[in-house]
Amino acid sequence: MVPYPPPDEVGEILITAAEIEQRVAELGREIAHDCADQVPLLVGILKGSVLFAADLMRAIGGPVEIDFMAVSSYGDATESSGVVRIVKDLDEPVAGRHVILVEDIIDSGLTMTYLLEHINAQGPASVRTCSLLAREGQQAPEVQLDYLGFEIPPAFVIGYGLDVAQRYRNLPFIAVYTGE
C-alpha cells in the first residue's frame, strides 16, 4: 500500500486541524450575528470549499441554506490560468436573497471579482464574501473580504479541501505543497 500522503510532497503544516476548527467556529458566530434577521444563502465554490462550507454552515447554527457553483481557473496546474469560467452555476435564483460567497482561498482575487459580478447581476438583497485563506499581498486592492479565516504566505498549499490535481483535499490541516 502506498503511504498517504507521500512525505516528500507535504511540507510545513501552516494551520492545524484544531486551529481550523476554532477559526471556523468564530466565523460562524460572526456570520450568525451579522445575519441574525436573515436566512443567508451560502454559495460554496466547488470543489475546494466543500469542507469549509459544510463546517461553516454547522457553525452558523441558525437558519442557513446552501448552494454550489463550480468555476475553473487552475485546471491541474499550481498557478491560475487567468481565465475564469463557470462550470456549474447555481441551482436556485438568488434575486432578493442574502448571499455569502464561500471560497477556499483567495489568490489574485480574479475568481472572487468574477463571481461578485455574476451574482450581483442577479439582484440579490446583499452579497458578502468569506474565504478560509488569503495569500499575503496577492489580492488586487478592490477585493474586499467580509470574513477571512487566515492569511498565509505566498506558498502553494494543500489540505482541508485544497488540492493538487484532485489529491490531498482530505488532509485535516493546511500544509505547503512541496511536490512538483
Residues marked as catalytic: 107
- Which residues neighbour 169 within 8 Å (Cβ) at sequence distance 6 or greater? 47, 48, 50, 51, 158, 159, 160, 161, 162, 163
SS3 of residue 8 by DSSP: coil
CA dist., res. 31 & res. 23, Å (int): 12
CA dist., res. 103 & res. 133, Å (int): 8
